[in-house]
Amino acid sequence: MNPGATPGESPARVRVTAPRDAPPVPGPTLQPGTPEDFYLRSLIRSQLRLSLSVAAGFTVLLLVIAVLIAFWPQIHEIRVGTVPIAWLLLGAGIYPIILAAAALYNRACTRNERRYRDLASRP
Amino acid sequence: MSTPVLAGANTAAALAAVVLVTAATVLIAVNGLRLSRTTSDFYVASRTVKPWWNASAIGGEYLSAASFLGVAGLIVVSGEEGLWFPIGYTAGYLMLLLFVAAPLRRSGAYTLPDFAQMRLGGRLPRLVTSALVVAVGWLYIVPQLHGAALTLGITTALPRWAGPVAVTGIVCLTVLAGGMRSITFVQAFQYWLKLAALAVPTIFLLLHLGATGESVTAGGAAFDRLPAQEAGSAALGVPTGDLTLYQTVSLILALLFGTLGLPHVLVRFYTNPDGPSARRTTAIVLGLLAVFYLFPTVLGVIGRAHLPGLVASADADATVLLLPGALVGGVAGDLLTALVAGGAFAAFLSTSSGLVVSLAGVMSQELFGGTVRGFRIAALLACAVPLGIALLTGTAALAGAIGAVFAFTASTICPLLLLGIWWRGLTGRGAVAGMLTGAVSCGGALAAAQLLPAGYTVAGLAVVGILQQPAAITVPLAFLVTVGVSKASSAPGGRRAAQVMARLHAPEDADGLDGLPEEISRWRP
């Protein structure tokens, strides 16, 4: 990058290299036992709990559908128009659920972070 | 049934569409060259890409041959069980959003091996991660090239080697020209191209069937189980027979957790400016994927109803290419086929170039000191090896081949990422042991499934069916080994882990992170 280059004129090539080692890790750490460290730990815990519960809910839903289809063959007889209900569910119905889960998660996640910011910035 | 090659005017129109897509791709890429100058541009597009652009680019990169051609082909051959594949491909991004998106963006690492080194320190975790990333990338590019061979073989009179050679050449050229920056624009453009290339024919076919008074689903017969289906499904790696439930669960697991570890998907997240925008981007991606998969699903159903001969043929993956010609015919059919062929080519180009960029990034840092020149040498290597494999191997079913790669990444890179981001106790030794366990067990199972005869049983158990979908066993195994070895080898590395966790999880604009330096707590792109 050549800061002196005028627009339109192509800047001189400068050899640039990627960081040879890993990106820097933050130097001073949060001391264990301080409020900052406590807030951060509880942020991570609540984020993990949130992610796990959304993931678990969704996975259980998928498993229920898979088990239902495996052990209840009559489900193939139920049709909406000519389309069996299992096809509707798997081919279209699951996608809105995925989107709703994502939207729900993003809202809750942002709320967790806001709560953390409020706590951490309190004098 | 022999390969149904389309003939006549079709050839010219399809070839023109492929050339047009290619020209547009190269043009945008070469334009990007003026913008990308620094190493940062080459690797991660300077981290200035907006969520909508980035989401389109992620969608463009992710929707590969397996999605564009493979999903409809699977539904034609396997029916209902085939529907799990697009669900898994989409829900994989939900898992990515839940566990990886924002923390990974905040890690500030360029590549997966960078993440491994940042989190764990030392050379070995980095090396093992690099080797796995390169292996996964190569395996993932091969089906793209097979898809290109199929597409050009069916829509034009060109020989089967022409597709792989053309895709590899174009990808190499665009990546050498512009790196990630231009790739982002190319990918974003290609998502919308792919969507249009399936949506327009789908809507046209539905209207056409409606106008001629034919039933879209052949009066519901499209959903019936077909006699030829079981054998075809088993060969494709689709859940079938007595093991349907185990295989379905295993497949879902592989697809859900395999997406986390795909190198070309991960590198995209580094181009978001911050954690929350990485989350927003992922949510948009989910919407884009959900909309996209409606169309190959509908086309698959139409294919079952109106091209039943495809079920037993080796070219079910060509369903979306064959439907317009078979149902509509004439000039309209030719034009629609050309549109689909162009979209399919966009799929091969975008996924392959995304993979080549991330592979070249990893290889150049590992082998060539991370310079722009090294990146270009690495890009050549990343292109050449899969081309060789693709030309030497026969075309496998696209979605099944991709499913195997997902099982492999779920068993290797996924434990490193999930535990690295969420568990302080992860150590370098634990991560390495887990990755190697996953690689050996999953890779071995997949190889054995190929080598053993289809009916092979041990104590009455259809072993091949289990080996074909190993994720339900190898993913938990890899996690267990990672956690076990980490606990046994717990070194005094807790301080480093705590620092990294602070960086991964604290919001960028939080006050009061006194312990963290300015560049971490107040970082802006």
B449 domain-assigned:
no
3-state secondary structure A18-78: CCCCCCCCCCCCCCCCCHHHHHHHHHHHHHHHHHHHHHHHHHHHHHHHHHHHHHCHHHHHC
Q: Would you give the DSSP letter of residue B485?
A: H
| CB nearest to B507's CB, from A58, A106, A117 | A117
Separation between Cα atoms, residue B438 and residue B435, nearest integer Å: 5
| Model confidence band, residue A99 (pLDDT cutoffs 50, 70, 90) | very high
CA atoms B225, B230, B233, B237: torsion sign: positive
B451 domain-assigned:
no
| CB nearest to B500's CB, from A25, A103, A117 | A25
User: Touching check for A74 and chain B: CB below 8 Å?
Assistant: no
Q: With beta carbons under 8 A apart, name residues in chain B contacting A101.
A: 94
Contact criterion met (CB below 8 Å) for B26 and B178: no
ipTM of the complex: 0.84
Tokens of B305: 């109803």
Residue B4, C-beta contacts closer than 8 angstroms, at least 6 positions apart: B154, B313, B315, B318, B322
Q: Residue B458 — φ and ψ, nearest 5°?
A: -125, 120
Q: Residue B325 has what pLDDT?
A: 84
B518 domain-assigned:
no
Q: Residue B235 has what pLDDT?
A: 58
Rounded mean pLDDT of A76-83? 78
- Residue A87 to residue B223, Cβ atoms within 8 A: yes
The 10s digit of each residue's pLDDT in B105-133 is: 888 777 888 888 888 888 899 999 999 99
CATH of the domain at B35: 1.20.1730.10
B486 domain-assigned:
no
Share of chain B above pLDDT 70, in %: 82
**What average pLDDT does chain A have?**
76
Q: Is B2 left (phi over 0), alpha (psi -120 to 50) or beta?
A: beta
Separation between Cα atoms, residue A90 and residue A61, nearest integer Å: 12
CA distances from B162 to A57, B8, B152, B167, B383 (A): 47, 19, 7, 9, 15
Q: With beta carbons under 8 A apart, name residues in chain A contacting B296.
A: none
| Model confidence band, residue A14 (pLDDT cutoffs 50, 70, 90) | very low
B457-458/B461-462 β-pairing:
antiparallel
| CB nearest to A110's CB, from B222, B276, B297 | B276
The 10s digit of each residue's pLDDT in B51-96 is: 888 889 889 888 888 888 888 988 888 888 888 889 999 999 999 9
What is the nearest CA distance from B411 to chain A, expressed in angstroms?
Answer: 18
Separation between Cα atoms, residue A55 and residue B321, nearest integer Å: 36
Domain that holds residue B34: 14-397
Rounded mean pLDDT of B229-247? 64
* In the predicted structure, residue B241 carries a pLDDT above the cut 80: no
B513 domain-assigned:
no
What is the nearest CA distance from A4 to chain B, expressed in angstroms?
Answer: 15
* Number of domains into which chain B is organized: 1
